[in-house]
Structure formats: structure tokens, C-alpha cells
Amino acid sequence: MDKVQLLIIDDEPQIRKLLQINLESNGYKILQAANAKEGTSLAASHLPDVILLDIGLPDKSGHDLLVELRDWYHKPIIVLSVQDNEPDIVKALDNGATDYLTKPFRTGELLARIRSAMRRDHNIELNTVVQFGNLEIDFVARTVKKDGTLVKLTQTEYNLFALFAKNEGKVLTHQYILNEVWGYGHQNETQYLRVFVGTLRKKIEDSPNHPEHIITQSGVGYRFQGAL
């Protein structure tokens, strides 16, 4: 089984090194970034399982970076900060942080927070049937219905639709979708994605040429609009 990959975004080399040693000794694979620009690039290219984000970055506020990441990154982000005041903590959580840990912290506590965040991330309500207007998806049976009639989807088409359904209303970048559905190494195959989106639209949209569910965000990616 592949190792869980963590991305550390922190401008202090000593902190990054200490975290790397402790986390690698516990079986995690580590990526490191010293600023917001590097962090964004690594997050987009590798889609780590968890991001450990320091608020005090040299090129951009960690709060601002958190907001930007949450536009397309939907996995756990744990904020690590020397700030232990309530406004900072509330702001980070409101901006989409999964958890907030104040420096200095014990390794055992960080490991527990990571495990907890990943459990929540994987504990999606797959035992429910979700309705989006005239569309219905059953995450257990892995089926999709339109107006009560079963839609025949290939495995890839279903995985693509399920990704959209789990992120209703959010803009998903081409790179994110390609990584999630096809895996690392396919980030630049936007034409490949366009073909699959086209076939999926033909099966679920009333008017594929004027889609009401899978909306193109020009130059960025797609957004799934559930209720019409």
C-alpha cells in the first residue's frame, strides 16, 4: 500500500526538518515547502493526503493561502501556528482548516490529529443516496439515475460523476480532477478529460450542448451544479 503523503508548508527549516524526521519514522512520506508559492505548486502537482500549514509565511499570510487552497483542495489541512489566540483559531477554522495545533506541540499529539483528520476525510456518508434535481447517486451501489431511470456509466464515468457530486458547487481544477480520477501523471491531459466530460454530459444532461449540471469554468476546470 502506498504511504500517506504529507505536505509541510513552513518557513522555518528546523521545524520542517524535525517534522520530517518524526513523521517519516512513523511511516509517512513527506514533501516540504518554505513559502506559499512553493506550497501551492507542490499541493497542485502531488495532491498530498494532508497539508500541515504554518500561518506565518514570508510571502503570504497562511490565512490567505488557506482560502486559496480551499478553492480546489478538499483534503485535510491542519494549521500549525505559534498564535494561540481565539480570533486566529476561529479565522483558520472558518476559512476551512480541518484542525488547529499550537506550537510547540508534542509529536504524539500531531500524529493523533493527523489520524483523526484522515478518518473524518475518509468517513464520507457512502450509505446515503443523494439527490441532485432529477439526478440521483447511490454511493454504495455505485449507480446513477436520471428521472428514476438507471444511467449506464462506465467505471471512469461513474468515478468522475461521483467526484463532482461530492464537491457540489465547488470549482474543481483540471489538474485536481485528472489526479483524483486517473491518478498522478495525467495532470496535463485536459483534452482527455474534456472527452469524458462530454460523454458524461450526453448521459446526464437534458441538453448536453447547454449543460445545467456540469458547468465549464473557462481555463480553470468544472463546477457541478446539483439543484436547478
C-beta separation of 145 from 136 below 8 A: yes
Q: What is the CA radius of gyration of the chain?
A: 19
C-beta separation of 96 from 67 below 8 A: yes
Quote the pLDDT of residue 125: 46
- pLDDT tens by residue, 128-157: 788 888 999 988 788 999 999 999 999 889
Residue predicted with more confidence, 184 or 86? 86
Residues 6+ apart with CB under 8 A from 200: 153, 157, 160, 161, 214
The three cell numbers of residue 43 are 499541493
pLDDT greater than 80 at residue 57:
yes
Q: Which residue has the cell 500500500?
A: 1
Q: Give me the mean pLDDT over the 63-67 stretch.
A: 93
Reported confidence tier of residue 119, pLDDT bands at 50, 70, 90: confident
Q: Give me the mean pLDDT over the 109-127 stretch.
A: 75
Contacts 24+ apart (CB under 8 A), 113-121: 113/78, 114/6, 114/28, 114/50, 114/76, 114/78, 117/50, 117/76, 117/78, 118/4, 118/49, 118/50, 118/76, 120/76, 121/75, 121/76
What's domain 129-224's architecture? Orthogonal Bundle (1.10)
CATH 3.30.70.1880 fits 5-122, yes or no: no
Per-domain boundaries in the chain: 5-122, 129-224
The three cell numbers of residue 228 are 436547478
Tell me if 5-122 shares its fold with 129-224.
no
